[in-house]
Structure 1
Amino acid sequence: MSQPDRPEHLPSAFATGLACRCPRCGEGPLFSGYLKTVKRCESCGLDLTWAAETEGPAVFIILIVGFVIVGAAGVVEALFHPAPFVHLLLWLPGTVILSLLLMRPLKALMVALQFHNNSGEGRLDE
């Protein structure tokens, strides 16, 4: 990913990522669908085609959601001892909903961090 027209002052990667905005200007939307990134920022014109296959947030979502759901299930089990079907009714929808809520902002955060750190594909220097 080359960024020859990188401005001096960039908005915070965390602010633009969690707001799902362009990592360079912080104005234009990053997504055209739920997880489909725009090809070009409508505000500053940044080419975002390199961000189309960013799937790195899946690991973080698994870890965060797993920690929250397993912790909550442990607390509920220790306090109330519900039947197994109650655990299924509580934690399966909770897992899906929490995963879907985290997916978009964490993908945007990953794209913003990649842009800010000027990361790209690994290459062997020859």
Structure 2
Amino acid sequence: MTDTSTTSYAAERPTKPAIMNGLRCRCPNCGQGKLFDHYLHVADTCSQCGEDLSHHRADDGPAYLVILLVAHIIGFAIHFMWVAWRPDPWVMATVLSLGAVGLSLALLPPMKGMIVGIQWARRMHGFGLNS
């Protein structure tokens, strides 16, 4: 009988560096190549190390994380603005709406990169088939 406790994985994939590389929108394997070839489109392969990145399945995870973060930041900003300056409601609505949209657009790529990095490190969705 074969020992099922040993795996055929060539090397360990530490999760923390993969997450950090993903947050920087870099390849989770080498940390050098760009993870995205467009705003949110993950490159099929890394331009530096050739790692196949087409297996990712980030789906709605990054959007949920962004909603969680932006809602907390905007909630704090609402309280701070009201206590400190008492602006007109339309001013608050305009400023905070623009802030929410800007924050959301800025946070989406790093959150998607983080999810792809976690999937790569944990060998999820086909990332562990050939290595």
**Aligned counterpart in structure 2 of residue 30 of structure 1, from 28, 31, 35:** 35
Q: Percent identity?
A: 35
Match of 1:124 in 2: none
Q: TM-score with structure 2 length normalisation? A: 0.79
Q: Which amino acid aligns with 2:112?
A: K
Q: How far apart, CA to CA, are the structure 1 residues paired with 2:50 and 2:56? A: 14
**Aligned counterpart in structure 1 of residue 125 of structure 2, from 110, 120, 123:** 120
Q: Which runs of 5+ in 1 are unaligned?
A: 122-126
Q: Which runs of 5+ in 2 are unaligned?
A: 1-7, 127-131
Q: TM-score with structure 1 length normalisation? A: 0.82
Over 3 Å counting, the alpha-carbon distance change for 1:6 and 1:103 in structure 2 is: farther
Alignment root-mean-square deviation, CA: 2.1
Superposition misfits of 4+ residues, deviation over 4 angstroms:
8-11
Instruction: Tell me by how many angstroms 1:14 deviates.
Output: 2.6
Instruction: Tell me by how many angstroms 1:74 deviates.
Output: 1.0
Q: Which amino acid aligns with 1:30?
A: L
